[in-house]
Amino acid sequence: MIKDRIANVDFTPIVAEVVKWRTNSDIASIGGAVFESKLAEALCDDDYVVFTQKEVASLVDEGVSFDFPVSWDTIKSESHVLGSPFYAVDLFEFERDGLVMTDAVSLKTSVTDSNSNVFVVNDNEGVVVPNYINGEDTYLGKVLTAIIRPTQGTFSVFYFDGNFSEVVANLEMNTDKKDNLVFRSTDKPTNLVKATNRHSDKKANAKTTSFDRGVTVKPAYLASFAQLVTSGQFDSVEIKTMIVSDLLSR
């Protein structure tokens, strides 16, 4: 299982590579892409191999035979269904012997020095809010969240496998002006969790994107419901010096 082996990963060089690419590009998603690729490589060992979702798709197209728990078509279909164990999966783990699938996780990466909320899940179909209002819980899946602070030179990685009720346990619910559900502790006014209500009348004519849907939390609140896998520091000055040296050597 990825959860059991991820604590042995040396995240420092992965984070350094993420910061390097994020510094050199204005593509906001590039940090997450680099983190996904490098983490997949780092999780490979003598017994297990880990591929990204795109790598698995490419290998399947080339005729490589994997031993999935269900068909690949089902996995692709359920990757859009929140509550499925295959929802938004980014990394797939296989036993090297027979390419038997043993685990899969979704990745969320935040590469910024701001204290803005981070995603636990992108709720594409907008099911979390109506489920909660109707007294139903929602399984959010296995999620690995990496928070990287480029200027501060720090990073932390959290693992969560559970339901929405675990995220908002012991919090008080309110609604904001857009009818989103917001949750806070009883003794503090700060919103710790937000679940976007995509079915609100106030949003009927508004364009929605992946940036305004889903479940987000304050970074400091992650430790309240998720397991801290690892945290550490890196030399941001050293990385910038390396970037400048590489650029000038062209």
Task: Name residue 195's amino acid.
Answer: A
Residue 203 lies in a domain: yes
Residue 245 lies in a domain: no
pLDDT at 124: 84
pLDDT at 205: 52
Could you list the residue range(s) of the whole structural domain that residue 59 is in? 2-234
pTM of the full predicted structure? 0.88
Residue 248 lies in a domain: no
Residue 46 lies in a domain: yes
Strands 100-111 and 139-149: parallel
Number of domains comprising the chain: 1
For residue 227, list its beta bridge partners.
159
Enumerate the H helices of the chain as residue ranges.
Answer: 2-5, 11-24, 30-42, 53-61, 72-78, 128-133, 164-167, 236-248
Residue 65 lies in a domain: yes
Residue 239 lies in a domain: no
pLDDT at 52: 96
Give the residue from 130, 62, 65 showing the smallest Cα distance to 101: 65
pLDDT at 19: 86
pLDDT at 12: 87
Distance CA 140, CA 106 (A): 10
Residue 147 lies in a domain: yes
pLDDT at 206: 53
Per-residue pLDDT 10s for the chain (250 aa) are: 898 888 889 888 888 888 888 888 888 889 889 999 999 999 999 999 999 999 999 999 999 999 999 999 999 999 999 999 999 999 999 999 999 999 999 999 998 888 889 999 999 888 999 999 999 999 999 999 999 998 888 999 999 999 999 999 999 999 998 889 999 998 888 899 999 987 765 555 555 554 457 999 999 999 999 999 999 988 888 888 888 888 888 8
CA torsion sign for 225, 111, 207, 88 is: negative
Two structure tokens written together for 111: 């590469």
Residue 16 lies in a domain: yes
